Amino acid sequence: MWAGASSSNVVNAAAALIVAALVIAALILGRDFLLPLALATLLSFALQPAVLWLEDHKLPRPAAVALVVLSLIATTVAAGALLAREVTGFAEELPRYQENLRTKIRDATGTLGSVGVWRTATEVLSNVEGEFKQQQPRGGEPVKVEVQNESSSPFLAFAKYLRLSISPLTSAALALLFTVFILLQYHDLRDRLVRVMGPTEIGRSTQTLNDAALELAHFFRLQAGLNLSFGIVIGLCLWAIGLPNAPLWGAIAAILRFVPYIGGALSALLPMALAAAVEPGWTQLILTAALFGAAEFITAQVIEPVLFGANTRVSPLAVLLSAAFWTTIWGPVGLILAMPITISLVVFAERVPMLSYVGVLLGNSPALSPKQRLYHLLLAGDASSSAEEMEDWLNEDRPLLDYLDHVAIPALSIAANDTAREVLRPDQLDKLKGAVNEYVELAEDLVEQRLGQKEQEGQTAKSACAKAFVLPARGAFDHAAGKLVALAGQLEARVDVMLAAGSGLMGINGALQNQKFQYAAVLSVGEATPAQLRLVVRRLHRAFSTSIGILMAKDHDDVSWVASEPFAQASVFSSAKALLDKIRTTAAPSSGPAPLKPVASLAR
């Protein structure tokens, strides 16, 4: 059991595993009922916008549902009839291509049989065939062969096909029935779901259902349009190549592409086999393979990312795992339903706090916030990647000060908090401090590079309008934060920041020895306790006998002592940007160095 784990946590984990096992068992055992219900639910989400559109045009809901469902049935029947006609034509022409196909198989067998391991395999098969021939009866003795003809009356053949098709027809009828019922009772079912999710969460529940419906309808429209376009392009190109029954292969390609990952490859098998059969040469086969490969690559790698983008809210790994899971549970139909079901789960997870972990595991939103990711990288000792993310931030023309206030200083605050709670082992803490030092050095190089680029571009750097003294309150993380603030002041704020050589009370001696600055700041990301920080600020106030403004983060743990201090008279700042802006705007260079006005900065 890991540190901090309790018996209740173990019991909860065991209960969660038991519930998951029961859910999976229910999905498998209730497949005949749940599969049509899932199809009907997803189909209802897809058809609901059309029903609402008809309702907006003064058509009663029953009539709108009937019109939409009848249109769907008519479209399906018409497409099936056209597909059946093409299949019949293909079956009639297939015997014409047998000789070409035999020739190609013999040529391929001869070519493979003369090369390497294939030659060895061919020899082994020939030897085995010879052994079988040797074991046949000798002397011309006849072998008795008995052939039994199975009765093939039309009635028995019809009964056989009916028995094979009764299960899918029943599932299709149930799915259609459920679809009609859900569309007719859509508003009532939605109200009941909202009531089940809790009367105090009506707003969140309603928004969740609306988002799920819109997300699924949007996905179905885009997917159907994309697959239809894919089938049309394939059909036209195959017709241009000269392949028979090109409309049939285009329709099959459009249908099979609803199957994730393997649909495009499956749709290419039969056209490639036909291309090999219809022509004595290999030109059509090569062109057909190149067509399907190029079309699938462009669709999957170029068009789909542009059309869908981040709208599906599902990570690629989640799509793969979901496809594998639902295929295992429900077979090929589960593979088709995997993506819509996963989208629905992610939408609900974003709105229901109890399912937040599902959104983290399946969603495509970043699992960690920028400050958490920076701390994670530093904890792993990856300072170079941390510096690259800072560079990416600056390359997007975003200020370095904003990066400090939203990413860097909060990440250092998390590190200081973990250190104070003794979460990190000594070796981990040493590794973290080393990564932080390297990260700051890389940041210094990055700032110097930016300043050099400005000089090369002819942008004369403006001289600093103010000088400030930054005193780290305590520890390496405060010192690193002070260096970053100094870099930001140099690059963006026109503030010349002198960082104390030491921290805490030792750093005050450096301030007394060099009083050529106009402001002073105490910087703490959380390593110093409130008592230690109070002592440092009081000593600094006593050393310069002036009022002190205090910069504190909004989520600081202990701020009650600030109001009771006699030096809490100046403005209270909430970010490093506000601190440097205040120093720059209130400085008076013409009057020379002003009396020291220390500013205590706490950013946690």
- Order of strands across the sheet with 519-524? 495-499, 466-472, 519-524, 597-602, 548-552, 568-573
In a 3-state reduction of DSSP, which class is residue 549? strand
Report yes or no on 160 lying in a domain. no
Q: How far is the C-alpha of 570 from the C-alpha of 597, rounded, in Å?
A: 10
Report yes or no on 576 lying in a domain. yes
- In angstroms, the Cα distances linking 235 to 80, 241, 453 are 17, 10, 55
In a 3-state reduction of DSSP, which class is residue 470? strand
Between 404-418, 499-513, 555-569, the lowest mean confidence (pLDDT) is in: 555-569
Report yes or no on 486 lying in a domain. yes
**Size (the chain), residues:** 604
**What sign does the CA torsion over 317, 321, 327, 329 have?**
negative
As a whole number, mean pLDDT of residues 190-215 equals 75
**pLDDT level of residue 134 (50, 70, 90 thresholds):** low
What pLDDT does residue 504 have?
59
pLDDT tens sequence across 83-129: 777 777 777 776 766 666 667 666 666 665 555 555 565 565 556 55
**pLDDT level of residue 139 (50, 70, 90 thresholds):** low
Phi then psi dihedrals of residue 599, to 5 deg: -125, 120
pLDDT tens sequence across 460-519: 556 656 777 777 777 888 888 888 888 888 887 677 777 766 665 666 665 555 556 677
As a whole number, mean pLDDT of residues 51-58 equals 87
More confident call, 458 vs 319:
319
Query: 599 pairs with which residues across the strands?
Result: 521, 549
Report yes or no on 72 lying in a domain. no
Q: Within a 10 A sphere around the Cβ of 82, how many other Cβ atoms?
A: 13
**What sign does the CA torsion over 250, 256, 260, 261 have?**
negative
In a 3-state reduction of DSSP, which class is residue 517? coil
Residues 112/114/116/117 CA torsion (nearest 10 deg): 60
Q: Is the pLDDT reported for residue 180 higher than 70?
A: yes
What pLDDT does residue 241 have?
86
What pLDDT does residue 2 have?
45
Q: Is the pLDDT reported for residue 569 higher than 50?
A: no
The candidate with the shortest Cα–Cα distance to 540, out of 524, 525, 554, 556, is 524
More confident call, 352 vs 476:
476
Q: Could you list the residue range(s) of the whole structural domain that residue 405 is in?
A: 371-455+464-602
Report yes or no on 526 lying in a domain. yes
Q: How far is the C-alpha of 83 from the C-alpha of 490, rounded, in Å?
A: 71
Q: Is the pLDDT reported for residue 310 higher than 80?
A: no
Q: Is the pLDDT reported for residue 426 higher than 70?
A: yes
Please provide the average confidence, as pLDDT, over all residues in the chain. 75
Report yes or no on 508 lying in a domain. yes
Report yes or no on 331 lying in a domain. no
Phi then psi dihedrals of residue 581, to 5 deg: -60, -40
Q: How far is the C-alpha of 358 from the C-alpha of 344, rounded, in Å?
A: 11
Tally of structural domains, the chain: 1
In a 3-state reduction of DSSP, which class is residue 499? strand
